[in-house]
């Protein structure tokens, strides 16, 4: 597409000279003898251009006033002022207002050609950069949560409602329920959406590494610190920082994080002077922080700073109506990735999934759908392609004497962990992947249920 250049000059000879020259170079040209007509065209119509060559001194309206009005109507338009003798000061003033450059009359063709090319290349780069930023925001922004249940809908509506504030939000819920998705929803629905959304898992790093990641460090702060490095707090300035598994923070880091929340400042590792920062915090945990506070494991003042607004995500077993749309969503994602993916899920397989209690929640469901799509040989994921643990449990009924009572949720979860460990021969990482949870969750469940390899033969 040809670039369109606008010319506004009260001298007919200059308009004709510039018009012929620019057209000969392959540009579309529209000339205006009246600055009033130019301003009206840009203010009241969709007409536009890629570059405006604007004379500074015109009898009908001063070029500086024209510049102000055009900048207001079309801030994206690049404007080059054309000056005669004695109007250089006006050109300098125009550049302070927002003109990109100026040409002093008379000017040689090669100077005009070079400036026009430079301005149009600048416009192209600005437009390309804007498109890339928009594409990146769309790519990084979370998809809207998939749900049908009224209970999850209430949480989602509350997340949108609190997005406009700068208050800290604490998201509670089991692993795999979508806490980071809701945190991203809060950020991208907030006034901070144009800035960065960063996340860190506080349980995945050692205390020393986590401190460096959060606060950054100066050169020489520790062995191997050959250069200064910004932390996530700096990177998330004017944006949002999501602290996942915040309940696992050490006491030392809890105190340092409290300083950020209270004063909006922090000290990088090895530095002596504090740095100011503007960050909105969203934290998440699957721990009961009130109990952790009572046990002395979590600072009470930090808990109240983080818990200004609390959102509790229900586990998947408590919203079974969401299983079908979520499974369909994950299957569509597999269809886009796989060569010969299945087209759907059989009713029997869906019934099996709805009868399962999902200890790994939505993350486990996603893994199950991926596994089923890989194993499927026909057009549908069938019940035989699901892991054994997802097959429907026997219906509850009155227990007669001599019968084994049905399992409660805790016993059922213990049994699923045992089965996963048995299937993977006590490989905790593979068992975690099979259940759709983290390795840390498996370690916690092994400790919680006091499991040993000898329990793998236990089906009770």
Q: How far apart are CA 343 and CA 355, in angstroms?
A: 22
pLDDT above 70 covers a percentage of the chain that reads 89
How big is the CA angle at 357 (ends 356 and 363), to the nearest 5 degrees? 95
pTM: predicted TM-score of the whole model, two decimal places? 0.59
pLDDT on residue 401: 38
pLDDT-derived band at 340, boundaries 50, 70, 90: low
Q: How far apart are CA 438 and CA 233, in angstroms?
A: 25
Q: Are strands 280-285 and 309-312 parallel, antiparallel or unpaired?
A: unpaired
152-190 residue pLDDT tens:
999 999 999 999 999 999 999 999 999 999 999 999 999
Half-sphere exposure of 105 (CA within 13 A, CB side): 21
pLDDT of residue 432 exceeding 90: no
Contact 40, 70 (CB under 8 A): no
Q: How far apart are CA 174 and CA 315, in angstroms?
A: 6
How far is Cα of residue 344 from the mean position of the Cα atoms in its chain?
Answer: 30
How far is Cα of residue 181 from the mean position of the Cα atoms in its chain?
Answer: 9
Quote the DSSP letter at residue 197.
E
pLDDT-derived band at 389, boundaries 50, 70, 90: low
pLDDT on residue 7: 94
Q: How far apart are CA 37 and CA 24, in angstroms?
A: 25
Half-sphere exposure of 262 (CA within 13 A, CB side): 10
pLDDT on residue 107: 87
What number is the average pLDDT over the span 355-378? Answer: 89
Contact 185, 146 (CB under 8 A): no
Q: How far apart are CA 251 and CA 290, in angstroms?
A: 16
pLDDT on residue 444: 85
pLDDT on residue 133: 59
DSSP string, 33-85: S-HHHHHHHHHHSS---SEEEEES--SSS-HHHHHHHHHHH-TTSEEEEEE-T
């Amino acid at each position: 597409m040809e670039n369109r250049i606008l010319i506004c000059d009260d001298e007919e000879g200059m308009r004709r000279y510039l018009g012929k020259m620019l057209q000969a170079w392959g540009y579309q040209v529209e000339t205006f003898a009246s600055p009033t007509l130019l301003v009206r065209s840009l203010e009241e119509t969709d007409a536009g251009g890629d570059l405006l060559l604007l004379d500074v001194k015109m009898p009908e309206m001063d070029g500086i006033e024209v510049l102000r009005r055009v900048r207001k109507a079309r801030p994206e338009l690049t404007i080059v002022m054309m000056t005669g003798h004695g109007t250089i000061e006006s050109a300098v003033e125009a550049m302070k207002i927002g003109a990109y450059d100026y040409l002093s009359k008379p000017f040689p063709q090669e100077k005009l050609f070079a400036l026009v090319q430079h301005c149009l290349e600048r416009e192209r780069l600005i437009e390309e950069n804007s498109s890339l930023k928009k594409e990146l925001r769309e790519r990084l922004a979370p998809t809207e949560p998939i749900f049908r249940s009224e209970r999850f809908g209430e949480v989602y509506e509350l997340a949108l409602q609190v997005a406009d504030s700068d208050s800290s939000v604490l998201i509670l819920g089991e692993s795999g329920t979508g806490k980071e998705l809701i945190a991203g929803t809060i950020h991208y629905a907030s006034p901070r959406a144009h800035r960065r959304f960063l996340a860190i898992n506080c349980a995945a790093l050692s205390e020393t590494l986590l401190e460096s990641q959060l606060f950054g460090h100066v050169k020489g702060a520790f062995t191997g610190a050959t250069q200064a490095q910004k932390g996530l707090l700096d990177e998330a300035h004017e944006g949002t920082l999501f602290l996942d598994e915040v309940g696992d923070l050490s006491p030392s880091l809890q105190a340092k994080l409290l300083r950020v929340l209270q004063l909006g400042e922090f000290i990088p590792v090895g530095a002596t002077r504090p740095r100011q920062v503007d960050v909105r915090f969203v934290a998440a945990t699957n721990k009961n922080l009130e109990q952790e506070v009572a046990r002395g494991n979590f600072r009470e003042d930090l808990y109240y700073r983080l818990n200004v607004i609390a959102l509790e995500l229900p586990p998947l077993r408590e919203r079974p109506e969401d299983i079908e749309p979520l499974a369909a969503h994950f299957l569509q994602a597999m269809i886009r990735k796989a060569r010969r993916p299945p087209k759907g899920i059989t009713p029997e397989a869906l019934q099996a999934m709805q009868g399962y209690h999902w200890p790994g929640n939505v993350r486990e469901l996603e893994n199950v759908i991926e596994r089923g799509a890989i194993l499927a040989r026909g057009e549908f994921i069938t019940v035989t392609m699901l892991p054994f643990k997802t097959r429907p449990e026997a219906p509850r009924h009155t227990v007669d004497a001599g019968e084994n009572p049905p399992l409660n949720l805790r016993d059922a979860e213990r049994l699923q962990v045992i089965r996963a460990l048995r299937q993977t021969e006590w490989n905790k990482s593979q068992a975690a992947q099979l259940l759709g949870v983290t390795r840390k969750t498996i370690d916690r469940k092994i400790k919680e249920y006091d499991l040993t390899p000898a329990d793998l033969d236990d089906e009770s």
